[in-house]
A and B are shown apart, each in its own frame.
Chain A
Amino acid sequence: EVQLVESGGGLVQPGGSLRLSCAASGFNFSPYSMNWLRQAPGKGLEWLSHIRGDGGGITYADSVKGRFTISRDNVKNSLYLQMNSLRDEDTAVYYCARDTRGSADYWGQGTLVTVSS
């Protein structure tokens, strides 16, 4: 069974940093591209970042470019999102999702990030 489990969320002050992790299991992780997405409270879904299976092909949404960094460790079957210079508007549930050519077929349960002083 495919499973994606996010962790690392929490409360952080504006300007602070946080590192999210996504542990993958139940499938061969390394060939798959992966993505990070988020959902602000009561709002819709927003794609944030993509990384190819080999760690290349990295892209970011304009809203996080220069502040967030996506990475992966295919030995540990894990995906990461380093978030710096956090702002109030970054408050959201953050999801990792497996990429299958033009779609996201599996999502994690999400981890909540709250940016507040």
Chain B
Amino acid sequence: DVVMTQSPLSLPVALGQPASISCRSSQSLVHSDGNTYLNWFQQRPGQSPRRLIYKVSNRDSGVPDRFSGSGSGTEFTLRISRVEAEDVGVYYCMQGTHSWTFGQGTKVEIK
């Protein structure tokens, strides 16, 4: 199984400041079709997960442009350019290249 490792696991951030979450996979996420199926999800308290980013850097409809994804191969990053109060929650990376596996989650809170 592909192991996804996120860091940090806890991320206190002041309002208006940037935040960055790292996700590393135990093997390359480049699929034989040429795509890299790395996704980012946000789970607000008491809610279901919501997809923010798919295929590394594609933002879902309605996702604010302060969220961005980057990376390749086995190293990926989710960035929030200016954290807002509504961004509080747990963020998960998920790989969909070799079945589906998730990172442990990163809890974002306001400092």
Contact = CB atoms under 8 A, between A and B. Distances in A.
Interface of A: 35, 37, 44-47, 50, 59, 95, 100-105, 107-110
Contacts, number: 58
Interface of B: 31, 35, 37, 39, 41, 48-51, 54-55, 60, 92, 94, 96-97, 99-105
Contact of B48 (A35, A95, A100): A95
A110 B48 CA distance: 7
Contacts of A47: 99-102
B100 A35 contact: yes
Contact of A45 (B55, B92, B99): B92
B97 A44 contact: no
Given A105-B54, A107-B48, A108-B48, A45 B35 contact: no
B102 A102 contact: no
B48 A102 contact: no
A110 B100 CA distance: 18
Contacts of B96: 101-104
Among B39, B50, B60, B96, find the residue whose CB has the most chain A CB atoms closer than 10 A.
B96
Contact of B31 (A37, A102, A110): A102
Given A44-B92, A44-B102, A47-B99, A103 B48 contact: no
